[in-house]
């Protein structure tokens, strides 16, 4: 099968910190120049490209002389503030040589969790693409706190892919792709050339954590591909050390691991719901409620809910779990946490008796609910 990038018109390219900073030794100016040159050629081929670049914290660590990634939040934020200056300066300089303008876009999860800010971010990115500008996107590590962090730029890249409805996501790393097991420990490990993005076996193959510099490992890349597939985007995980890797993929050559989207594309509003990384609470559903959601396409009623946890307000996103505590859906709830607990296992026509009022007959209306 040819590369899934061959016909992709809009691409999100994520470049890992190990590549950007030459494994923590400082920004790899030559490498960034090569990727800028490839992106410039993709633009001449009529492709739209957004870059999600790691490296700000790693570059800041190098400038500050720190050998290990700090754990204290304020030190991480300081490193990001120092490193972001150098990172965006080099990108701007590299792209200017090809006559291309760049823009810096810093995001937090809060920007995408709020519906209005989500739409504003999408409009800004689409406008930049229409103007022929290359957006360079990173998490706003200088202000992000644990509660609003994406956690890694693989996840951020997947969210951006969904946000602007890109055709494909390319994750460049220092590995050839996903292997059947850890090739550093298993000499029999083989490269996975292609697989469905939602194949549950991939997560077991991906294993554990990354390096001391990078936050994400192969698992975050597999999960990012699974997330990107919700909007119909294919993902390629490939080595950034491959010569002209982006151009070869765009011309149809198969490199690395292709994780193919095979599910129906979610509508934009439901994609926004699915992309919430931090939900405000959980609902434990009985088997009948799970069937009503997954098979019958109905709304969630209070009578089908055993338990509610968390401190959520009306209109916030909550997660729906089956009796094995697997997440089956998430949506915007019509009652706050205290109200929800008072009406658990209650038929809709008795809600007013329990609360003294009724806002909606459903806990979550099907139009505000997405299956996972």
User: Residue 141's pLDDT band (boundaries 50, 70, 90)?
Assistant: low
- Cα of first residue to Cα of last residue in the chain, in angstroms, is 28
- The pLDDT tens digits of the residues spanning 77-105 come to 888 889 899 999 999 999 999 999 999 99
> Could you tell me the domains of the chain?
10-270 (3.40.1160.10), 279-371 (2.30.130.10)
* pLDDT tens digits along 260-287: 998 778 887 788 888 887 789 999 999 9
* 218-262 pLDDT tens trace: 889 999 999 999 889 999 999 999 999 999 999 999 999 999 998
How confident is residue 168, by pLDDT bands cut at 50, 70 and 90? Answer: very high
């Amino acid at each position: 099968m040819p590369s899934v990038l061959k016909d992709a018109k809009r691409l999100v390219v994520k470049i890992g910190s190990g590549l950007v900073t030459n494994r923590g030794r400082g920004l790899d100016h030559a490498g960034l120049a090569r990727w800028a040159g490839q992106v410039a050629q993709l633009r001449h081929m009529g492709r739209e490209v957004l870059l999600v670049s790691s490296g700000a914290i790693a570059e800041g660590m190098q400038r500050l002389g720190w050998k290990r990634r700090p754990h204290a939040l304020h030190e991480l934020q300081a490193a990001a503030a120092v490193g972001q200056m150098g990172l965006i300066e080099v990108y701007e300089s590299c792209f200017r040589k090809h006559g291309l303008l760049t823009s810096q876009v810093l995001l937090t999860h809060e920007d995408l969790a709020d519906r209005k800010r989500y739409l504003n971010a999408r409009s800004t990115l689409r406008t930049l693409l229409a103007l022929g500008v290359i957006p360079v996107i990173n998490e706003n590590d200088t202000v992000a706190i644990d509660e609003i962090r994406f956690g890694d730029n693989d996840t951020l890249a997947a969210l951006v892919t969904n946000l602007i409805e890109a055709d494909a996501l390319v994750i460049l790393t220092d590995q050839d792709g996903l292997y059947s097991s850890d090739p550093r420990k298993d000499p029999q490990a083989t490269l996975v050339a292609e697989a469905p993005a939602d194949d549950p076996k991939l997560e077991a193959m991906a294993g554990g954590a990354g390096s001391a510099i990078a936050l994400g490992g192969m698992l975050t890349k597999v999960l990012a591909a699974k997330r990107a597939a919700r909007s119909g985007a294919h993902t390629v995980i490939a080595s950034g050390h491959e010569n002209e890797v982006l151009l070869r993929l765009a011309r149809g050559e198969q490199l690395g691991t292709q994780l193919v989207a095979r599910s129906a594309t979610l509508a934009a509003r439901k994609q926004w719901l699915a992309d919430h990384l931090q939900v405000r609470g959980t609902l434990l559903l009985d088997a009948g409620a799970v069937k009503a959601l997954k098979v019958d396409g109905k709304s969630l009623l209070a009578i089908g809910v055993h338990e509610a946890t968390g401190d959520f307000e009306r209109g916030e996103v909550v997660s729906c779990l089956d009796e094995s505590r697997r997440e089956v859906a998430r949506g915007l709830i019509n009652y706050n946490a205290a109200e929800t607990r008072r009406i658990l296992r209650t038929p809709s026509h008795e809600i007013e008796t329990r609360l003294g009022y009724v806002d909606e007959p459903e806990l979550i209306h099907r139009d505000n609910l997405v299956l996972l």
